[in-house]
Amino acid sequence: MSGLHINYRAHMTAALVSAGAFREQPFTVVDVGARGGVADYWRVFGDDLRIVGFDLDPLECERLAALDPRTIYVPFALDRQAGERRVYVTDHSSGSSFYQPSPAFYARHTADSNVTILSEPMLKTVSLPEAIGAIRPDFIKLDAEGAELEILQGGEALLPGASGILSEVRFSKELSGCPTFWEVEKYLKEQAFELYDLDVYRLSKKALPYPYLYANFFGDGRPAAGPSTQGQVLWADALYLRDLSGENPEVRRLIVMACLFEIFGLNDCAAELILAHREEFDRILPSDRLLDLLVPEVKGQRLTYREYMDRDLVGDPLLRPSEGRRFPEAVIPQYDGEFRPAWMPAPKVPRPSFWQRVAAVFT
């Protein structure tokens, strides 16, 4: 349930894709922690999308790779370098980690049963460059239960070519002792990335639990605790992108950045980039048209870029909320639905457990 400001109608990006901007070199995403498959917002790239995903479950990798010829999924354990590392396998398998969850910390929260440790296998690890070879990602997504910083450090040679990173981060060492947001932030700033968005998640205390943000399940179908609608902020998905202002990058990087800005709801940043590099964008499509496609629909009206900018951007009633109201309206702080993707059906026949399948690959 992403709280990032995703734009699922990225009109400008769709126009650039149709014009062939990615025909010679597809838009490439490396997805670490890929269980469940391709995020819907990448589908705007159509046949010009390439996904390289990593998940420890070999059957899930086979299933995902079979769904889409644009994708490659491999059951590798990624780390800073090749070697071996202990994994703490938890009852809720998606929370399994190189870092041992703190029993004392989780005992105060509703999600304590999720981190019950079932086993502690040793897995062989590789670095990200070793795993992907000659592939060069435009975007890297990481959900590695605390190992994100080490994977990034192991893949440092790839970072100059990447234009964006979406990483899970944690705000407290108390969870498991893993690197925190501040360490990831410092490292990515040193790599010339800037924080653009943050989707925070909370856990409430057992003393007075809040409702859950979404329906969560163990692998066998049992209801599981999960993030709550209120409570202490403990982790987040952090979006990092490059700020190319003052630079003179190649045309493809400009196009990639403009598309990423639009997809992640940062149309203002995309417009700024186009205005600063009109000549380069005009080689693909007229920059005026691209700017028109970026203008948001407001109160049912679609304006051209010039019509929009000619308005009083402070006092125009079109751009202002009703008196005493926020705009857009406040979002209901609880997801009233079921978060059970199609890839998580209850097992119909006995089969090896998730970690038995993983162990078969690494032993």
Low pLDDT (below 70) residues in the chain: 1-2, 322-363
Q: Please give the model's pTM, rounded to 2 decimal places.
A: 0.88
Q: Can you give the pLDDT at residue 348? A: 52
Residue among 68, 75, 73, 79 nearest 46 (CA) = 68
Query: From edge to edge, which strands make up the β-sheet containing 77-78?
Result: 77-78, 122-126, 83-86
How far apart are alpha carbons 146 and 32 in whole angstroms?
12
Cis peptide before 328 (omega within 30 of 0): yes
What percent of the chain is modeled with pLDDT above 90? 65
- CATH tag for 11-294+332-362 (out of 3.30.420.40, 3.40.50.150, 3.40.50.880, 3.10.20.30): 3.40.50.150
pLDDT for 283: 95
Half-sphere exposure of 179 (CA within 13 A, CB side): 19
Distances (CA, A) of 33 to 19, 40, 77, 109, 274: 32, 16, 10, 25, 33
- The owner of tokens 């046949």 is 47
State the first-to-last Cα distance of the chain, in angstroms, to the nearest integer.
Answer: 35
Phi, psi of 91 (to 5 degrees): -55, -40
Parallel/antiparallel/unpaired status of strands 232-241 and 164-170: antiparallel
Task: Map out the domains of the chain as residue ranges.
Answer: 11-294+332-362
Q: What is the pLDDT of residue 250?
A: 94
From CA 269, how far away is CA 260, in angstroms rounded? Answer: 10
Taking only the tens place, the pLDDT of each residue in 51-109 is 999 988 888 889 888 988 888 999 889 999 999 999 998 888 888 899 999 999 999 99
pLDDT of residue 345: 46
- Residue 35 has a pLDDT of 82
Taking phi first (over 0 means left), then psi (-120 to 50 degrees means alpha), and beta for anything else, what does residue 89 get? beta
- pLDDT of 344 reads 41
Q: What is the pLDDT of residue 214?
A: 85
Q: What is the pLDDT of residues 314-361, one digit of tens each?
A: 888 888 876 655 555 444 343 344 433 333 444 454 556 666 666 665
The whole-number pLDDT of residue 73 equals 92
